[in-house]
């Protein structure tokens, strides 16, 4: 439970750096501007992840229509099995509607601890192999393999990695490999379930052309209808028009769609290891040795970072507490937790860490809280807020904080605790 990082990728990483440096050195010595290396980006996505984990834990569920999601009346679908998909059930659909479409489905509320465990397991395998990867959500990863083709076949490497993940975790996973993130993600989607697809560099446009325009993220119902009215149904249809016409009709979106349809995307894989953390530190005007006061500060700070977390639409998988004493001795402790965005789950862990760290009675000069292992919560969020009421409550609190400043609303922990003790 202690570590929040992963290791063991250094070998490949060094190799990759070596070949990147070679390219640079060659350019410096010869003055010849070498072409940018061919980019290779793999996108991995676990197939109906929550359902797969449920089936692993209870094999009798295999092959059945399963929906994992919130409550019957107010919840939404987090994920569903392919058997339920056949009836039209989709992620993010209201549970009510899903049950109407597939009344015989087995409904599960989900086991978050298990999902976090498996998500970390897959992350660790990828981290041990991949030079540079991004954890795009709890079940989704991008890997940048650019430069590796000097030493390995990127396609074979990606196939081997998939095999290893499936052999070790027994979870089905699909991947798309291409020259950029956008095309790879769409390729994964096309490869599912339980498959893989390599779009050779230069074939991006060809691959995209026959697919419907709403395969592009960001094309919502409104844009979809607008495009339809322009006679654009497939991605290939976009390029039948002049860029200027698309811009006239769709504004900036027109420019972007024109680029996307050609299979162009330059967004980079941002390293999970260097992923931002959210932290809050406070050096006190006067050193504090009153435990109630320290805990009160700690709760306030945890609420603040949890608020930032929700504003960024992230989940965190690790929390750390830091203490500094007047003699500048600094100590900190971190712990891996189930992926969460909730104050009421973070605060008890922060308090527990504090008690483990603090030398009782010793005055404290600085206190800090840090959330790390951040990842996007995407559609699975409903599961991370299984009680929709609580979700709405947080939304209300965060709305008030946004409107009136962050100090307005804080839970009266100290008051409550004193009541409890009496």
> For the residues of 110-127, what is the DSSP string, one character each?
--HHHHHHHHHHHHHHHH
Q: 134 or 139: whose CB is closer to Mg ion? A: 139
Distance CA 42, CA 154 (A): 9
- Is 140 catalytic? The answer is yes
Distance CA 259, CA 257 (A): 5
- In this structure, what are the phi and psi dihedrals at residue 135, rounded to the nearest 5 degrees? -95, 100
Nearest approach in angstroms of CB 174 to Mg ion is 8
Q: 45 or 343: whose CB is closer to Mg ion? A: 45
Nearest approach in angstroms of CB 337 to Mg ion is 22
Catalytic residue among 134, 140, 204, 303: 140
Q: Classify 94 in phi/psi space as left (phi over 0), alpha (psi -120 to 50) or beta.
A: beta
27-43: string of b/e by CB count within 10 Å (b at 16+)? eeeeeeeeeeeebbbbb
Alpha helices in 192-233 (DSSP H): 204-208, 221-229
- Out of 16, 39, 41, 45, point to the residue binding Mg ion (CB under 5 A): 45
Contact region with Mg ion (CB under 5 A), list: 49-57, 128-136, 167-175, 182-190? 49-57
Residue 139 interacts with Mg ion (CB under 5 A): yes or no: yes
C-alpha to C-alpha distances, 341 to 76, 145, 186, 356, nearest whole angstrom: 18, 31, 28, 23
Q: 45 or 144: whose CB is closer to Mg ion? A: 45
Nearest approach in angstroms of CB 222 to Mg ion is 26
Distance CA 139, CA 130 (A): 16
Contact region with Mg ion (CB under 5 A), list: 46-54, 85-93, 94-102, 199-207? 46-54
Nearest approach in angstroms of CB 381 to Mg ion is 14
Residue 343 interacts with Mg ion (CB under 5 A): yes or no: no
Contact region with Mg ion (CB under 5 A), list: 44-52, 342-350, 373-381, 401-409? 44-52
Segment 245 to 304, residues that bind Mg ion, using CB under 5 A: none
Nearest approach in angstroms of CB 323 to Mg ion is 39
Distance CA 223, CA 213 (A): 9
Residue 54 interacts with Mg ion (CB under 5 A): yes or no: no
Q: 141 or 394: whose CB is closer to Mg ion? A: 141
C-alpha to C-alpha distances, 41 to 132, 198, 235, 264, nearest whole angstrom: 10, 10, 21, 13
- Just list the catalytic residues: 140
Give residues in contact with Mg ion (CB under 5 A). Answer: 45-46, 49, 139
């Amino acid at each position: 439970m202690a570590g929040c990082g992963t290791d063991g990728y250094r070998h490949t990483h060094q190799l990759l750096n070596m070949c990147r440096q070679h390219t640079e050195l060659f350019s410096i010595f010869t003055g010849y501007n070498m072409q940018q290396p061919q980019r290779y980006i793999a996108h991995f996505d676990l197939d109906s992840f929550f359902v797969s984990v449920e089936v692993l834990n209870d094999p009798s569920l295999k092959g059945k229509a399963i929906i994992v999601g919130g409550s019957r009346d107010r919840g939404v679908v987090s994920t569903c099995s392919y058997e339920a998909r056949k009836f039209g059930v989709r992620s993010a659909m209201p549970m009510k509607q899903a049950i109407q479409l597939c009344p015989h489905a087995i409904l599960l509320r989900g086991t978050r601890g298990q999902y976090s465990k498996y998500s970390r397991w897959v992350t660790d395998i990828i981290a041990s192999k991949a030079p540079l990867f991004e954890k795009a959500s709890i079940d989704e990863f991008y890997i940048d393999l650019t430069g590796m083709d000097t030493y390995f076949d990127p396609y074979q490497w990606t196939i081997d990695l998939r095999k290893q993940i499936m052999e070790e975790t027994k979870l089905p996973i699909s991947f798309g490999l291409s020259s950029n993130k956008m095309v790879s993600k769409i390729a994964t989607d096309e490869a599912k379930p339980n498959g893989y697809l390599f779009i050779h560099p230069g074939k991006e446009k060809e691959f995209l052309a026959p697919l419907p325009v709403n395969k592009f993220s960001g094309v919502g119902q409104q844009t979809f209808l607008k495009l339809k009215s322009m006679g654009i149904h497939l991605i290939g249809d976009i390029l039948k028009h002049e860029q200027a016409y698309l811009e006239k009709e769709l504004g900036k979106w027109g420019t972007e769609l024109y680029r996307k349809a050609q299979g162009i995307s330059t967004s980079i894989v941002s390293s999970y290891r260097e992923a931002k953390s959210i932290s809050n530190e406070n050096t006190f005007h006067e050193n504090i040795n009153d435990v109630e006061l320290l805990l009160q500060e700690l709760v306030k700070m945890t609420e603040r970072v949890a608020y930032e977390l929700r504003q960024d639409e992230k989940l965190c998988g690790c929390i750390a507490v830091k203490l500094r004493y007047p003699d500048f001795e600094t100590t900190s402790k971190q712990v891996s937790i189930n992926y969460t965005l909730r104050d009421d789950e973070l605060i008890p862990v922060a308090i527990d860490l504090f008690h483990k760290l603090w030398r009782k009675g010793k005055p404290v000069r600085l206190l800090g809280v840090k959330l790390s292992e951040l990842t996007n919560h995407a559609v699975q969020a409903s599961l991370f807020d299984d009680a929709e009421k609580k979700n709405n409550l947080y939304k209300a609190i965060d709305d008030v904080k946004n409107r009136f400043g962050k100090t307005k609303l804080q839970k009266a922990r100290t008051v409550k605790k004193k009541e409890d003790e009496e």
